[in-house]
Amino acid sequence: MGFELLQPRSLAEALEMKKSYGEEAKVLAGGTDFLVLLKDQKLKAEVVMSLRGIRELNFIRHEEGKGVTLGALATHGAVAASAIIRQRFPDLAEACAQVGAVQVQNLGTVGGNLCNASPAADAAPPLLLMDASLILASARGERRISIHDFFQGPRRTVLQADEILKEIFIPQIPGRRGATYLKLGRRKAMEIAIVGIGVAIHLNGSDQVVSDCRIALGSVAPTPLRARHGEEILRNQEIRDELIEEAAEVAAEEASPISDVRASREYRLDMIRVLCRRAIPAALASARGNKVEGLS
Amino acid sequence: MEKKSRIRLTINGKELELEAEPNRSLLEVLRDDLGLTGTKQGCDREECGTCTVLLEGVSALSCNLAVGMVVGRKVETIEGLGQGGGLHPLQKAFVEKGAVQCGFCTPGIILETEALLRRDPAPTSEKITERLFPHLCRCTGYAKILEAIEYGARLRRGEPAVVTASHQGYVGRPRSALDAEDKVTGRAKFAADLYMPDMAYAKILRSPHAHAIIRNIDTSEAERIPGVRGFVTGRNLRAVRLGVKPLLRPGRGTFQPVIAIDRVRYKGEPVAAVAADTREIAEQALAAVKVDYEVLESVIGVEAALKPDAPRIFPEGNVEQTQTITRGDIAKGFAEADVVVENWYYTPFQEHGYIEPEAGLAYVDTDGRLFLQACTQFPYQCQQSLAQLLGLKAEEVRVVATPVGGGFGGKYVEHAWILAALLAYEVRSPVKVVYTREESILSSTKRHAALMRFKTGASRNGRLVALEAELFMDVGAYFDPLVTRYTAVAAQGPYEIPNVLVKAAQVATNVQKSGAFRGLGGIQIAFAQEQQLELIAQQLQMDPWEIRYLNALRPGSVTATGHHLEEGVGISATLKAVRPYYEQALQVARAENGSRETASTWKRGVGLACGWRAYGGQSTDPTEATVELLPDGTLEVRSGLVELGVGSTTALAQMAADLMGVRLEDVHLIGGDTARAPFPYTTSGEKAVMMIGGAVCRALEELRAALTSVSAQALGCRPEEITFKGGNALQAGRKLPLDRLAALCREVGVPLKYQGAARWSGYRPLDPDTGQGVFCDLYAMRTQVAEVDVNTTTGEVKVLRVVDASDTGTVVNPILLEGQIHGSIVQGLGYALTEEFVPGQTATLREYGLPTVLEMPEMVVLFVGDKVPSTPFGAKGAGETAIVPTPAAIANAIAHATRARLRRLPAKPDRVLAALRES
Ligand SMILES: Cc1cc2nc3c(=O)[nH]c(=O)nc-3n(C[C@H](O)[C@H](O)[C@H](O)COP(=O)(O)OP(=O)(O)OC[C@H]3O[C@@H](n4cnc5c(N)ncnc54)[C@H](O)[C@@H]3O)c2cc1C
Ligand code: FES
Ligand code: FES
């Protein structure tokens, strides 16, 4: 594992380095994926730039009326423990709390989880539900893109050679939101999801009619994705068991899982249905329990 | 490669400045540069926890930290705990509670716990498991580790230690393992912890193809790389030059070459081995080797290999029928049967999953003798292999076993250290080899996958009347028929069946070789046979317990091989022992399933399974041991015993201490060193304790006789009046300390050193066509009850509890035996639910799926059975075979919960769900 190690102290310094090294310098945040990628030669790096020393990237910031911003160094552990996230984005807190073991959560960052672009990244489905946007920075300046446009395939994102992910922005979501993230692993923990499902239900006024329903799937396609057709079935509807059933069926049709050592394609499709059936009522209950309107 | 820089760190309270490349991992720097080898490398990819250190008091995986990123920070390693006198409370607790078996996982777990306790001195058990679950332990099944952590936390809070009363004698008492202290402190030197000046590193080039002809190997360019010291390939092998067949395990009827000669038969097969100044240079050199392959069609999986048009791995074909057992009249048996059940079953390859990867260090000493230290379970066979490969006399090769970081049958004569030794002989400098985890998984031997057809017949009253079994054992790329004998003998299960026809065949496929593994042959059989029994009971509407009890072997029974069983036939006793647990579990399950809403997706089930396995030698060759009373009155015992982390040496010392009436500390065991201890027939685990223990007892009896007569003379009494206790010879209140007695003996010319031998006397080789003979003297026997919850929508299975009753005879050391049984049960549970080595796919521990602490069930361990007259102290031992019935018990429990019958392991959720739909 021969590589040169760069340890910038500020974002500006990091961006300058990235500018001069470009593709050659690979970014390391928590490093939980990074060094293993190197070992497996899925990543080649002559130069490694560690972001760990950049204090200004390590934060979780809440701005009333605007939203929540996660710095690139916010770890799964910090996100799962954050009061504001637990309260308003329980799906994200649940996802982060299910990443690997505590030890991995304390090192691994949500940003790294996204940049790594694994189809199984646990933080991705909740952030897809929230229509989060990502702030990508380079010495040339910053750009903001929607998380929906970020993933290009397994291990591939739209990040340019001189860019790093600076922040993740979760916009305020109007209405009462209830959400959950369910993950099925082969073993209870330490396990990459066989299927991961996030569901968010938004209520506006009525407890009965769903103003919006969002379903996001992990591990069942080349990238994490939203099951938009499944969502349609429930949107502006009064939720009934038959509708949940139908939404689950349709969501499964939107996935294109593969068979691998951990589970067969058929099983994954089955589990999308099973988890949808569980997650939709759970999200609804959580939305109903959420008595305050217009949070975030 | 980056330049070195000066790096400042505080390690275990000391400020250090060292020169290192900042990109190297902290783990490597701690071990290679600072000699802090208590921090272990089990995977180097964040999957095992053995490399855990404390970074600013918080646990961190040092394999995943570039040393440049921890500059100026405080690092603590296991060597820093309990500094300044005595063991740290956690270390003490691990020793006392029997939480240390091989000890390879121990330092990491202790540090993890310490990090937790610093912040939370009295953590809940949930907190503890949450921290513990990234730490893999393959030996203990986690139960004793959890116990030790809770006890250690109490000690650490200053609560008083629980003092156990001192006992008379050692056999039958719980004793912590003799080597446990070395392991909890990180002092124990495993093979990878050995370093020498001017040492070269070996790396192995492996075939990327499952089946290919090697047209040419060109190492010329690689040899020119500065720092490369030499190569071993199938072309330049000394054995080839000497005209010897260069086999890895000569004399065992296998064809496996020590390194591929003209053909590779599995992906990962060694093709070239290099020794170079550094690991990096070694890897560069391998990358520069040019191998010209002609790729052949390969065959993977028994089903594929059985097809008539399957590509042939050997000219004689892929399938060899190697053992048949016939007894009675099979046609008549089935004609008489009222029910007949016939099914196919499949069990996959199982990876041993020892947490210590293969390692060894070899050099040629100043006398020209080849000296190898390695984590081998069988140094003597390594010695023989090397002598043969190099054309040396046995005395010219010395092999010493280092502590083995988990063996389970997987560390015998392995490529890793044999190639390192050949390289050392070739390049004449010390050569060290340490496998990466990926290499270990790719190339190490596995439990034989098995495809089995069972046809079982019973009469209306539940008596088994006929069994026909066809067994296809996947031996991997090289033949070795031993397993077919084990499985064929085991096929009837621990039951009386008058009419039997068993045919066992070995099947070659293009995968790594299969090899010995705990419960060899028995576990596959139990999976099939115990489900057959259950299906018969169902058809006859009989109780699963009753049908087993009715058919159980008893003293006086005759097995299918014609073996008249007399002693150690405790299967009925183990059935009786689990009965109350079984009934209670059934009641609880009924209540649970009744009280759960009908809509609940979780169903409770209870399963029963018995298991047996041939136990004892497949040879009548004697095992020898010597004992000597030393001038200071202590005892030296030399034997071939290797400590595999299963407490064998402790058990042996306990026996010796009791026989001579000395303290355990006064027994010095020397073993595992071909130059210093006699050749044993085997050193595989407990069975070795029986035999080696027997030899030691014989030798001690002679020593005792001699000492008795000398002390009787000295004390002026009759020899019958002499007893030995507390390090003295005693007679009616008078005592003669053993050191004085030793001096007396020397004066009168009575020798103090004696040799003893023991053998399994009953062995008669099985006739290959009829199977008649005596395969072994004893059989390990046991019964288990498993309680599971099955989710009927996701197929997930949780094992809640396993009750194990084993026929152990005298228990030499309950705490160590119990720990072994725990470990075996959890290995069986892994095989049942998650573990499957899929050739060509499974590459890492995480993909493989070793059980973590979260999968650990509650375990109840019961010892039953009478003393066995023919073994030392009447002990039989039964730790390792606890794995045998576990998958079967779990499969039966799943079926009880849901009616889903699993005919294929592991019971992964998708398979459970599929079976549910079929039912
Ligand atoms: C034992 C174990 C268990 C795990 N279990 C899970 C699990 O259950 N679920 C799961 O989703 N993941 C799991 N992971 C994967 C991993 O922990 C997560 O993906 C983690 O969030 C990655 O974050 P990191 O900060 O460690 O990223 P790093 O390893 O530092 O980087 C990952 C990738 O992202 C890039 N990158 C990181 N930060 C940036 C940035 N700011 N800008 C640009 N590129 C960047 C890196 O270049 C690299 O390619 C597990 C890992 C391990 C070792
Ligand atoms: S986790 Fe670091 S060596 Fe296994
Ligand atoms: S004692 Fe834990 S791995 Fe051996």
**Residue A109 Cβ < 6 Å to ligand 1:** yes
Residue B136 CA to residue B140 CA, distance in Å, equals 10
pLDDT band at A39 (very low <50, low <70, confident <90, very high): confident
What tokens does B545 get?
Answer: 């317990």
Note whether B422 and B551 are same-domain residues. Answer: no
**Residue A210 Cβ < 6 Å to ligand 1:** no
A133: domain CATH number is 3.30.465.10
Least distant ligand from the CA of B820: 3
Q: How many CB atoms lie within 10 A of CB A146?
A: 11
State yes or no: pLDDT of A189 exceeds 80: no
Whole-number pLDDT of residue B97: 95
**Residue B356 Cβ < 6 Å to ligand 2:** no
Nearest to A238, CA basis, from A203, A272, A214: A203
Whole-number pLDDT of residue B171: 86
- Per the structure, the count of domains in chain B is 4
Nearest-Cα distance to chain A for B611, in Å, is 27
Q: Whose CA is nearest to atom 47 of ligand 1?
A: A27
Instruction: Name residues 878-917 of chain B within 8 A of A (Cβ).
Output: 908-910, 913
Query: Which of A111, A144, A171 is the last residue in one of the domains?
Result: A171
Tokens 């090769």 correspond to: B397
- Indicate the residue of A187, A260, A267 with minimum beta-carbon distance to B849: A187
User: Does residue B490 form part of some domain?
Assistant: yes
* Eight-class DSSP state of B275: E
User: What's the Cα-to-Cα distance from B483 to each of B444, B450, B613, rounded to whole Å?
Assistant: 17, 10, 12
Q: What is the pLDDT of residues A205-243, one digit of tens each?
A: 888 899 999 999 999 999 999 999 999 999 999 999 999
**Residue B42 Cβ < 6 Å to ligand 2:** yes
- B240's enclosing H/E stretch is helix B238-242
Q: Is B410 on the interface with A (CB under 8 A)?
A: no
pTM for this prediction: 0.96
B168: domain CATH number is 1.10.150.120
**Residue B48 Cβ < 6 Å to ligand 3:** no
- Sheet containing B319-327: give its strands across: B319-327, B499-508, B464-476, B449-458, B339-347
Q: Is B794 on the interface with A (CB under 8 A)?
A: yes
Cβ pairs A/B, distance under 8 A: 107
- A181's enclosing H/E stretch is strand A176-184
Query: Which of A152, A171, A190 is the last residue in one of the domains?
Result: A171
pLDDT mean over B405-415: 94
A34: domain CATH number is 3.30.43
- Sheet containing B723-725: give its strands across: B723-725, B728-731, B734-737
**Domain interval for residue B831:** 446-616+766-918
Q: Is B287 on the interface with A (CB under 8 A)?
A: no
* Eight-class DSSP state of B211: S
User: Does residue A127 form part of some domain?
Assistant: yes
Residue B425 CA to residue B435 CA, distance in Å, equals 20
Which atom of ligand 3 lies closest to the CA of B355? 3
Q: Is A270 on the interface with B (CB under 8 A)?
A: yes
State yes or no: pLDDT of B288 exceeds 80: yes
Q: What is the pLDDT of residues A45-85, one digit of tens each?
A: 889 999 999 999 999 999 999 999 999 999 999 999 999 99
Note whether B706 and B847 are same-domain residues. Answer: no
- The conformational region for residue A274 under phi > 0 = left, psi -120 to 50 = alpha, else beta, is alpha
Q: How many CB atoms lie within 10 A of CB B126?
A: 8
Q: What is the pLDDT of residues B449-459, one digit of tens each?
A: 999 999 999 99
A5 and B22 in contact by Cβ < 8 A? yes
**Peptide bond between residue B246 and the one before it cis (omega within 30 degrees of 0):** no
Q: What is the pLDDT of residues B527-560, one digit of tens each?
A: 999 999 999 999 999 999 999 999 999 999 999 9
Q: What is the pLDDT of residues B554-612, one digit of tens each?
A: 999 999 999 999 988 999 999 999 999 999 999 999 999 988 766 678 999 999 999 99
Strands A176-184 and B723-725 turn out to be unpaired
Asked if residue A59 lies in contact with residue A71, where contact means CB atoms within 8 angstroms, the answer is: yes
Nearest to B823, CA basis, from A185, B867, B831: B831
User: Does residue B338 form part of some domain?
Assistant: no
**Domain interval for residue A200:** 176-288
User: Does residue B242 form part of some domain?
Assistant: yes
State yes or no: pLDDT of A187 exceeds 70: no
Query: Which of B740, B758, B776 is the last residue in one of the domains?
Result: B758
State yes or no: pLDDT of B390 exceeds 70: yes
B211: domain CATH number is 3.90.1170.50
pLDDT band at A294 (very low <50, low <70, confident <90, very high): very low
Whole-number pLDDT of residue A295: 43
Which atom of ligand 1 lies closest to the CA of B134? 1
Whole-number pLDDT of residue B584: 98
User: Does residue B854 form part of some domain?
Assistant: yes
Note whether B270 and B400 are same-domain residues. Answer: yes
pLDDT mean over B64-69: 91
Note whether A147 and A248 are same-domain residues. Answer: no
Note whether B488 and B429 are same-domain residues. Answer: no
Note whether B612 and B500 are same-domain residues. Answer: yes
Which residue among B28, B55, B61 is best mutated to probe the pocket of ligand 2, counting the most ligand atoms within 8 A of its Cβ?
Answer: B61
Note whether A163 and A250 are same-domain residues. Answer: no
User: Does residue B133 form part of some domain?
Assistant: yes
pLDDT mean over B174-180: 84
State yes or no: pLDDT of B683 exceeds 80: no
User: Does residue B372 form part of some domain?
Assistant: yes
Q: Is B599 on the interface with A (CB under 8 A)?
A: no
The identity of residue A69, as a single letter, is T
User: Does residue B418 form part of some domain?
Assistant: yes
Q: Is B44 on the interface with A (CB under 8 A)?
A: yes
User: ipTM beyond 0.95?
Assistant: no
Q: Is B242 on the interface with A (CB under 8 A)?
A: no
Q: If you average pLDDT over every residue of chain B, what do you get? A: 93
Which atom of ligand 2 lies closest to the CA of B43? 4
Tokens 């000890």 correspond to: B103
State yes or no: pLDDT of B268 exceeds 50: yes
**Residue A27 Cβ < 6 Å to ligand 1:** yes
State yes or no: pLDDT of B163 exceeds 90: no
Whole-number pLDDT of residue B680: 66
Note whether B148 and B30 are same-domain residues. Answer: yes
